[in-house]
Amino acid sequence: MPTFRSKLTALALVAFIGAGPAASAEQRAATDFDHALVARTALEKHIRPGFRRLTSAFAELQQATGSCEKQPQFRYARLRPVFRKAVLAWGRVAHLNFGPLAAENRYDRVFFWLDRKGIARRQVARALKESPSEYRDAAKLAQSSIGVQGLPALEQLIATPAEPGENSSFRCSYAQAIAGNLVNIAREVEAAWSEGGIWSERWLTPGPGNPTYIQPSETTYALIRAYLDNIERVRDVELMRPLGLAVRGRDLPGPFARSDLTMAFIGARITGLRSLIEDGGLAKETTRTAKARGSPAAEQAMKQVRFELRLLTRLSTPLTKVPDFFGSSQRDEAIALGFPLKSARFQAERAFSLTTDLPMGFNASDGD
């Protein structure tokens, strides 16, 4: 009869299997998660369409700012609809902060937030006073402080009134430069993810020569982390702050608060995260693997994720249409988003943990 110690030794042998090469497609069993399929689906159905939409929205913004210098009394209110569209397009891809969006500080150049100490706000205000020439040129602006070249900086130009004696042509040129910079960034990211683009190649061909993704599971891991980290961020940072639910939280506004687009942005974030799960192929492949493994727990968990995301869409959509939402009597209704956001994260972690064999453990998921 095996002793307790010998059982433990057997456990040890199981536990200390060296990390071998990933199984090839031919070797993959039906119970294995199809990482290659999800990588391709996510790229084609979620990543590329999202960044195409972003480039297009930023290009519209650029076009709209282009007419301001011809109109001495240009009203920045005219920019608001295209700015809103740009914010929504950004909200739908902001979770894809890996690959080309993470490289060269592109994410922060588009969206420097939370600016808790108001550094960027002060930099933009100073620029409006001093009219530095490099802020009139998109290429030169791209070399400037990260906080002055993206959407929050443009929001400040659109949403704040001109100071007496302010150089109005500068505000216009600066807005044009920001919009041009945003278009350049979006085009770079879109190109990197396009057919034959450098990140597209890396994403689809994991292996020993690949500098970023060596095992096929690593692309899945990137997608799962994007989902888990961002759904948590929406709840704990972007939503909780304006609701004043965090300790000492009432003093900091939500994202795009000055243009009253916080809820619209959060709605777009939920749409983007739902698209990642649904269009990106994670839900389908997780469910398939759960069934193949005979894991009703994983299947049920993914069902609940999909339900919570549908619920979040249903709950958030009407709130995005309320003017001055956080100043309105309806603001407390946003609290209803809290639990589904938490559940959509928790259940997803459970479903992925049971099907992908990726590290979702106590320390692997939430170490320090």
Q: Which residues bind another protein (CB under 8 A)?
A: 8-9, 11-13, 15-19, 98-99, 102-103, 105, 107-108, 112, 114, 116-117, 146-147, 208, 210-215, 218, 221, 232-233, 236-237, 241, 246-249, 252, 359, 361-364, 367-368
Q: Which is nearer to another protein, 81 or 359 (CB)?
A: 359
From 254, 271, 261, select the one nearest 95 (Cα to Cα).
271
> Cβ of residue 202: shortest distance to another protein, in angstroms?
9
* Residue showing tokens 């879109």: 190
Tokens of 168: 């109005």
What is the nearest approach in angstroms of another protein to the Cβ of residue 253? 12
Nearest distance in Å: CB 199, another protein: 9
- Minimum Å distance from CB 74 to another protein? 31
| Cα 171 from chain centroid (whole Å) | 29
Task: For residue 183, count CB atoms less than 10 angstroms from its CB and return exposed for 0-12, middle for 13-18, buried for 19 or more.
Answer: buried
**Degrees, nearest 5: CA angle 233-236-45:** 30
> Please, are residues 144 and 134 in contact by the beta-carbon 8 Å criterion?
yes
Nearer to another protein, 108 or 260 (CB): 108
Calpha distance 102→209 (Å, rounded)? 21
The distance from CA 110 to its chain's CA centroid, rounded to whole angstroms, is 12
> Which ranges constitute the DSSP H helices of 234-323?
240-243, 262-278, 282-293, 296-320
Question: Burial letters for 124-146: b for 16+ Cβ neighbours within 10 Å, e otherwise?
Answer: beebbeeeeeebbbbeebbebeb
User: Looking at beta carbons only, is 164 or 208 nearer to another protein?
Assistant: 208
Nearest to another protein of 1, 247 (CB atom): 247
Q: Which CB atom, from 133 or from 362, has the smaller least distance to another protein? A: 362
Q: In the complex with another protein, which residue's Cβ is closer, 60 or 238?
A: 238
Check if the beta carbon of residue 101 is closer than 8 Å to that of residue 189. Answer: yes
CB of 318 to another protein, least distance (A): 26
Exposed/middle/buried for residue 228 (C-beta within 10 Å: 0-12, 13-18, 19+): buried
Residue 173 or 230: the one with the smaller Cβ distance to another protein is 230
Q: Which is nearer to another protein, 287 or 347 (CB)?
A: 347
The C-alpha torsion from 245 through 158 and 77 to 169, rounded to 10°, is 170
User: Within 10 Å of residue 187's Cβ, how many Cβ atoms?
Assistant: 15
Q: Kindly tell me which of 23 and 252 has the beta carbon lying closer to another protein.
A: 252
> Are residues 268 and 239 in contact, defined by beta-carbon separation less than 8 angstroms?
no
Cβ 139 to another protein shortest distance, Å: 19
Dist. CA 110–CA 55, nearest whole Å: 12
Closest approach, Cβ 210 to another protein, in A, equals 8
Instruction: Judge whether 135 and 173 are in contact, CB under 8 Å.
Output: yes
**CB of residue 49 vs another protein: minimum separation in angstroms?**
22
Kindly tell me which of 166 and 357 has the beta carbon lying closer to another protein. Answer: 357
- State the minimum distance, in angstroms, from the CB of residue 222 to another protein: 9
> What minimum distance in Å lies between the beta carbon of 273 and another protein?
16
